[in-house]
A and B are shown apart, each in its own frame.
Chain A
């Protein structure tokens, strides 16, 4: 039976609201959905990444999605409009073609998107002076995490600069199975532990669920060490748990509302990157 869902988005849209929408929509299995933004005055960036993820999930299932005018929504404009003009088009929509990757088939789509992001980061004028290799590495590792572990074909990446605060902000978001479920699948001892503890375990170096042969558990540990080294912050939300990673320490968090998939919000003062210098190719490494 066909059904049309209307999501009447509230004046202030936060990620908790969107997670509720995701669960309700997946349960009702509608044939078309209208996101009504009329009342929405303000939205968190993660909430918007989640809406975009949900929209992609529906569209891939053949469900028609529509939006009312979102002119009034500052963040929606911030996310969507700047990215539309990119030569790579829709950089925020990163399809991963998971099946092909797992099968070991050539998958240039992943590489081309990692490279597109790298080019984009290098085109940001405020970052000109700095060696932003750590940022490229964080992005590529987390993007591959979505491809290999989320069991979804889509993820959303959001990048913005706050020039007045010298901050670069990166959000990597998917609405797949999430970190705690992946950890419990491979590490039985985590069945009784909290979601936050499972996420913390996933950030340890060389902890992997080996969803493909070349996984060695590097993505989240790279995020943790890089963010700490750069004196930035990373917030991870997944399942009922989360982590706040900062130089001062790691704080475990628990939430009443289930977070679908994994949302990672990184903020770094870009003056903490090393100043760009000429590269010297003179080092040897023996093991």
Chain B
């Protein structure tokens, strides 16, 4: 298990570019060891935007697939508000992907 502390990687939690800084850091760890589980700590972060979530997490789902993402990435130490934004955004995207693949 590896842990990333989000606010040591970026100070930008409102744009997709800030999110991508987190996403790329997670990706680097997964490339070093694809079996490693990654926890991303949001300790000290009081707000994130949906665009930030896009760059941080949806980017990984697109590149590594939903199942791999689910089993390897976890968010910890978030406020309830931040947890809701991240959880709702990621789950909406996963549901959408599921519907898309069902429709094929």
Give the B-binding residues of A (Cβ under 8 A): 107, 110-111, 114-115, 118, 131, 133, 136-137, 140-141, 144, 205-206, 212, 214-216, 218-219, 221-222, 279-287
- 20 A-B contact pairs sorted by A residue (CB < 8 Å): A110-B15, A111-B12, A114-B14, A114-B15, A140-B49, A141-B50, A144-B51, A212-B16, A214-B19, A218-B49, A218-B51, A218-B54, A222-B50, A281-B78, A282-B77, A283-B82, A283-B83, A284-B78, A285-B76, A286-B74
Partner of B51 from A118, A205, A219, A287 at Cβ < 8 Å: A219
* Whole-angstrom distance between the Cβ of A112 and the nearest chain B Cβ: 10
* Alpha-carbon separation in the docked complex, A49 to B35 (Å): 53
Q: Are B43 and A215 in contact (CB under 8 A)?
A: no
* Alpha-carbon separation in the docked complex, A111 to B73 (Å): 26
Hey, which chain A residues are within 8 Å of B43, CB to CB? 281
Q: Are B44 and A287 in contact (CB under 8 A)?
A: no
Question: Which residue on A lies nearest to B78, using beta carbons?
Answer: A283
Hey, which chain B residues are within 8 Å of A280, CB to CB? 79-80
* Whole-angstrom distance between the Cβ of A271 and the nearest chain B Cβ: 18
Partner of B79 from A107, A137, A281 at Cβ < 8 Å: A281
Assuming A214-B54, A281-B43, is B14 touching A137 (CB within 8 A)? yes
Assuming A111-B15, A206-B92, A287-B91, is B73 touching A133 (CB within 8 A)? no
Hey, which chain A residues are within 8 Å of B69, CB to CB? 287
Hey, which chain B residues are within 8 Å of A212, CB to CB? 16
Question: Which residue on A lies nearest to B46, using beta carbons?
Answer: A279
Hey, which chain A residues are within 8 Å of B96, CB to CB? 206
* Alpha-carbon separation in the docked complex, A216 to B51 (Å): 8
For residue B38, CB closer than 8 A to chain A, the reply is: no
Q: Are B49 and A281 in contact (CB under 8 A)?
A: no
Q: Are B18 and A214 in contact (CB under 8 A)?
A: no
Partner of A284 from B16, B53, B76, B91 at Cβ < 8 Å: B76
